[in-house]
Amino acid sequence: MFSPVDDLASLSGDRELEGHFLSRWMAVAFVDSLPTPEARRVFAVGSRSFVVARDRGGALHVFVNACTHRGTRLCRGAGRGRMRCPYHGWVFGCDGRLLGATRRSGLPPFDDAQMSLRRLAVRCVGPVVFAHRDPAAALDLDPELRAEVERLGGTPARRWRRVRVSWRRLLRGQGSGSTHRVLGANLILERFASGVRLRLVAPRARGGSVVEERAYGLGLFARARFLLGR
Ligand code: FES
């Protein structure tokens, strides 16, 4: 029987980075970055890549960004609709199901339903999508911080530019204000007198991590600080 490739079976890249992120609930996207059915985008953890997708019914999913035929990376950046593997053309829906498979003749028999994309556990906390490598993982986020982030759901947010800095430095809060707190593996919550900023860290082993930000209810002074990158 042919079995799907499992790209998460072991840690093989940067062990410190992957150990930190893949053993915890990690923030993988802001909900507003997937506004419509069949929207999808990639989230990277070092050399690992995941697809965050909204299916036709509006449900959010997170998958390993690897074709279950031979493990080829399926997509890059942001996009919409079905995912077609660039190697042999297998097609997957935004719900992870295998919709079409070519080159069956050289393979042992398999059931299409067993060849869906490898799925992670998913939970939405306010405006943030979290995922965990273990599909059965319980949501064990800090209750106080979680409640604070949940209350931001539905609140209009300002978007800020992406910055590139070390993920270790960011998560330790070096150079930031005293209200710096981290939820799960990588969601930084910073409180200011006039509002809150969330920073979602997509870590890279080299060249600086990508940080996506949302700001809620912040005044002019805080906005000026962000634009200066502080
Ligand atoms: S590796 Fe994707 S279709 Fe073959």
The answer to the question of residue 175 being in a domain is yes
CATH code where residue 23 lies = 2.102.10.10
What per-residue string of b and e applies to 20-50 under the rule 16 or more CB within 10 Å gives b?
bbbebbbbbbbbebbeeebbbbbbbbbebbb
Question: Could you say which of 132, 167, 184 is where a domain stops?
Answer: 132
Residue 8 falls within a domain, yes or no? Answer: no
Q: Give the HSE-up count for residue 58: Cα atoms under 13 Å, Cβ half-sphere.
A: 1
5 inside domain = no
Confirm whether pTM is higher than 0.85. Answer: yes
- Assess whether the C-beta atom of 70 lies below 6 angstroms from ligand 1: yes
Q: What DSSP assignment string belongs to 125-183?
A: ETTEEEEESSTT------HHHHHHHHTTTTS--EEEEEEEE-HHHHHHTTTS-TT-EEE
Domain count within the chain: 2
- Residue 230: the pLDDT is 47
* Residue 122 shares a structural domain with residue 192: no
The partner residues of 186 in beta bridges, in order of sequence, read none
In a domain, 21, yes or no: yes
Statement to judge: residues 76 and 150 lie in one domain: no
Question: Could you read off the pLDDT of 13-37 as tens digits, one per residue?
Answer: 678 888 899 999 999 999 999 999 9
Does 173 share its domain with 101?
A: no
- Tell me the best of 70, 75, 91 to mutate to test the pocket of ligand 1, counting ligand atoms within 8 Å of each CB and taking the most: 70
* 36 and 124 both lie in a single domain: yes
**In terms of residue numbers, what domain contains 73?**
15-132
Q: Is the pLDDT of residue 5 over 80?
A: no
What's the Cα-to-Cα distance from 170 to each of 27, 49, 165, 166, 196, rounded to whole Å?
Answer: 15, 21, 7, 6, 16
User: Does one domain contain both 30 and 120?
Assistant: yes
Residues 68 and 100 in one domain: yes
Distance 162 CA to ligand 1 centre (A): 33
Does residue 124 sit in the same domain as residue 28?
A: yes
CA of 134 to the centre of ligand 1 (A): 24
Report if residue 190 sits inside a domain: yes
DSSP type of residue 13: S
pLDDT in tens, 162-191: 677 788 888 888 656 558 899 999 999 998
Q: Please list, residue by residue across 59-90, b when 16 or more beta carbons sit within 10 angstroms of its beta carbon and e when fewer do.
A: ebbbbbbbbbbeeebbbeeebeeebbbeeeeb
Answer yes or no: is 9 within a domain: no
Q: Please indicate, yes or no, whether residues 104 and 171 belong to a single structural domain of this protein.
A: no
pLDDT digits (tens, 9 = 90+) for 77-100: 999 999 999 999 999 999 999 999
Which of 5, 63, 68, 69 is the best mutation target for the ligand 1 pocket, counting ligand atoms within 8 Å of the beta carbon and taking the most?
A: 69
Q: Which of 79, 108, 132 is the last residue of a domain?
A: 132
Domain closes at, from 77, 109, 132: 132
CA of 67 to the centre of ligand 1 (A): 6
